């Protein structure tokens, strides 16, 4: 049975293609900077928004009628959803998917039953993976949906909740390992607080540090070779989340000696919500060896919540790619569409329009970034701007051979007054505009 009978496998048609369901920029086999676009992008489709979410919001019911959501029997329903997912992913030509444990199998009355159901439906996932060659970019446990997690999972005031979350992550990490997942993600949606009146911040940080250490320990115990990723987000659902942004997570990891165990999954709109450009979060992660993977969904600059829209701005992506490429790439990460349709986009075909546009925007950004790098003027400008640091004074300062006294002497002896140099921001913006 086909869930998308009207959609043919998506093909590359080139920039002039008139078919709205043809790729215009994502030419998977095209080689750029020594790798195919497929290898650079490692696109992933997510289960939760694409196959589980019915189009509901806080004001209204679901607007989507999905054949795979209509089945009342839990196991049959899970199987249909999985079949629909692999049909869409294969037709898109995306190489990966991502899932939460509770996306593919609903939660049962006991954890034991939930584990058993998950294992059972994952057998179907495994069969699809073998048949199609589609891989798992990352798995994750849903530690935020159930009421038991309202006050947090690892940061809950009740250690029994910590234990429950640990049991859930153990199982999901093992399932991810069994499916050959490239990464495992922890997003701390409830790891934060709504009011300091009832919150002991120091204690909660120690709990979370312990939790993350346990997960890393288990990863090594079972021989999972993938990367553990933390996904920063400043708020929503809680008022303040501990994994606020890349810098906050970096400091946290260092505090608990975990900086070599985890990397980051940077989400475009989480950067926006934290008051940063997406490129800033990538640059920070790359500068600190934490670049892991990307959730490609954007927000709306005027809406202060996680609107989870599909990417559409090639310039934003060109700037993002500059940071990713300068940082040496994602090393086993990829680009996951943790993105939702708008509620009025009720047709299943809209799922294809959304992903095709998103893949194209990201591919177009990559091509632009490659053109900017091979043009060389931007990179040269940046290098020349710091040239002083390559000469004697700069080197001696950085290597620690100059004291404050030496530097004072250096300036006073010759009455030196440094001359301002233009940062040429407008010229550089114009240069980028030639390529985007």
194 catalytic residue (yes or no) = no
The answer to whether 250 touches 259, Cβ cutoff 8 Å, is yes
295 binds ligand XLS (CB under 6 A): yes
CB-side neighbour CA atoms (13 Å) of 135: 16
The CB-of-64 to ligand XLS minimum distance in angstroms stands at 18
Asked whether the bond before 347 is cis by omega within 30 degrees of 0, the reply is no
- Which H, E and C letters describe the chain, residue by residue? CCCCCCCCCCCECCCCCCCCCCECCCCCCCEECCEEHHHHHCEEEEHHHHHHCCCCECCECCCCCCHHHCCCCHHHHHHHHHHHHHHHHHHHCCCEEEEEHHHHCCCCCCHHHHHHHHHHHHHHHHHHHHHHCCEEEEEECCCCCCHHHCCCCCCCCCHHHHHHHHHHHHHHHHHHHHCCCCEEEECCCCCEECCHHHCCHHHHHHHHHHHHHHHHHHHHHHCCCCEEEECCCCCCCCCEECCCCHHHHHHHHHHCCCCCCEEEEEEHHHHHHCCCCHHHHHHHHHHCCCEEEEECCECECCECCCCCECCCCHHHHHHHHHHHHHCCCCCCCCEEECCCCCCCCCCHHHHHHHHHHHHHHHHHHHHHHHHHHHHCHHHHHHHHHCHHHHCHHHHHHHCCCCCHHHHHHHHHHHCCCCCCCCCCHHHHHHHHHCCC
Annotation marks residue 103 as catalytic: yes
276 binds, among Ni ion, ligand XLS, none (CB under 5 to 8 A by kind): none
Selected from 50, 114, 140, 241, the binder of ligand XLS by CB under 6 A is 140
Print the binding letters for residues 91-130 with ligand XLS: x by CB under 6 A, - otherwise: ---------x------------------------------
Query: 297 CB contacts (<8 Å, ≥6 apart)?
Result: 267, 268, 269, 308, 309, 310, 311, 337, 338, 339, 340
Partner in contact with 140, chosen from ligand XLS, Ni ion, none, beta carbon below 5 to 8 Å by kind:
ligand XLS
Residue 245 or residue 267: which is nearer to Ni ion going by CB?
267
Q: Which of 87, 204, 267, 370 binds ligand XLS (CB under 6 A)?
A: 267
| The one segment of 88-96, 164-172, 181-189, 281-289 that binds ligand XLS by CB under 6 A | 181-189
Q: Is 295 in the site for Ni ion (CB under 5 A)?
A: yes
Q: Which position's Cβ is nearest ligand XLS?
A: 187
Distance of closest approach, residue 309 Cβ to Ni ion, in angstroms? 11
Stretch that binds ligand XLS, among 121-129, 185-193, 363-371, 381-389 (CB under 6 A): 185-193
Cβ proximity to Ni ion: between 308 and 323 the closer is: 308
Residue whose C-alpha is closest to residue 44's, from 181, 199, 146? 181
Candidates 101, 261, 338, 360: give the one binding ligand XLS (CB under 6 A). 338
CB of 30 to ligand XLS, least distance (A): 29
Query: In the bound complex, what is the minimum distance in angstroms from residue 296's beta carbon to ligand XLS?
Result: 11
Nearest to 68 by CA among 76, 58, 57: 76
Least distance to ligand XLS, CB of residue 50, Å: 12
Nearer to Ni ion (CB atom), residue 204 or residue 295: 295
Q: 41 is in the binding site of which of ligand XLS, Ni ion, none (Cβ under 5 to 8 A by kind)? A: none
> Which one of the listed residues 27, 40, 49, 100 is annotated catalytic?
100
Number of residues that bind Ni ion (CB under 5 A): 4
Rank residues 297 and 436 by Cβ distance to ligand XLS and give the closer one: 297
Measured from the CB of residue 408, what is the shortest distance to ligand XLS in angstroms? 50
Does residue 261 belong to the site contacting Ni ion (CB under 5 A)?
no
Q: Looking at 27, 103, 243, 308, which residue is catalytic?
A: 103
Total binding residues for ligand XLS by CB under 6 A?
11
Return the residue of 267, 316, 323, 360 that touches Ni ion, per CB under 5 A: 267
Does residue number 306 form part of the binding site for ligand XLS (CB under 6 A)?
A: yes
Terminal Cα distance for the chain, rounded: 42
CA–CA dist 330, 41 (Å, integer): 9
> Per CB under 5 A, does 306 bind Ni ion?
yes
Residue 187 near ligand XLS by CB under 6 A: yes
Task: Tell me whether residue 3 or residue 99 sits nearer to ligand XLS (CB atom).
Answer: 99
Sole binder of Ni ion in the list 87, 281, 316, 338 (CB under 5 A): 338
Q: Which residues bind ligand XLS (CB under 6 A)?
A: 100, 140, 185, 187, 189, 231, 233, 267, 295, 306, 338
The set of catalytic residues is 100, 103
Q: Which residues bind Ni ion (CB under 5 A)?
A: 267, 295, 306, 338
């Amino acid at each position: 049975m086909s869930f998308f009978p009207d959609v043919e496998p998506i093909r590359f048609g080139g920039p002039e293609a008139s078919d709205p369901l043809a790729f215009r920029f994502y030419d998977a086999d095209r080689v750029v900077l020594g790798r195919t676009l497929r290898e650079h992008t490692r696109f992933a489709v997510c289960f939760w928004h694409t196959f589980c979410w019915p189009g509901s919001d806080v004001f209204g019911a679901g607007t989507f009628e999905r054949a795979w959501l209509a089945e009342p029997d839990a196991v049959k329903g899970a199987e249909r959803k999985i079949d629909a997912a692999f049909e869409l992913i294969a037709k898109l030509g995306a190489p990966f998917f991502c899932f939460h444990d509770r996306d593919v199998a609903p939660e049962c009355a006991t954890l034991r039953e939930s584990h058993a159901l998950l294992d059972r439906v994952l057998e179907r996932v495994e069969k699809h993976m073998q048949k199609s060659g589609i891989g798992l970019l990352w798995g994750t446990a849903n530690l935020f949906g159930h009421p038991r997690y309202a006050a947090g999972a690892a940061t809950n005031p009740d250690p029994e909740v910590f234990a429950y979350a640990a049991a859930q992550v153990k199982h999901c990490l093992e399932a991810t390992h069994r499916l050959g997942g490239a990464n495992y993600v922890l997003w701390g949606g409830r790891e934060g607080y709504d009011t300091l009146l009832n919150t002991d911040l120091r204690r909660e940080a120690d709990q979370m540090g312990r939790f993350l250490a346990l997960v890393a320990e288990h990863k090594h115990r079972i021989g999972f070779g993938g990367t553990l990723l933390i996904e920063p987000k400043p708020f929503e659902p809680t008022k303040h989340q501990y994994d606020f942004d890349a810098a906050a997570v970096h400091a946290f990891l260092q505090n608990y000696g975990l900086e070599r165990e985890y990397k980051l999954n940077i989400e475009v709109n989480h950067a926006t919500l934290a008051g940063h450009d997406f490129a800033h979060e990538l640059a920070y992660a790359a500068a600190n060896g934490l670049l892991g993977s990307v959730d490609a969904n954007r927000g709306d600059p005027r809406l202060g919540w996680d609107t989870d829209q599909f990417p559409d701005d090639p310039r934003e992506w060109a700037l993002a790619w500059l940071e990713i490429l300068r940082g040496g790439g994602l090393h086993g990460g990829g680009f996951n569409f943790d993105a939702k349709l708008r509620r009025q986009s009720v047709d299943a075909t809209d799922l294809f329009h959304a992903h095709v546009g998103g893949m194209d925007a990201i591919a177009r950004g990559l091509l632009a970034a490659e053109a900017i790098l091979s043009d060389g003027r931007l990179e040269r400008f940046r290098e020349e701007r710091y040239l002083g640091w390559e000469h004697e004074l700069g080197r001696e300062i950085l290597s620690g051979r100059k004291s404050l006294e030496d530097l004072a002497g250096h300036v006073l002896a010759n009455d030196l007054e440094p001359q301002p140099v233009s940062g040429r921001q407008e010229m550089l913006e114009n240069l980028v505009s030639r390529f985007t």
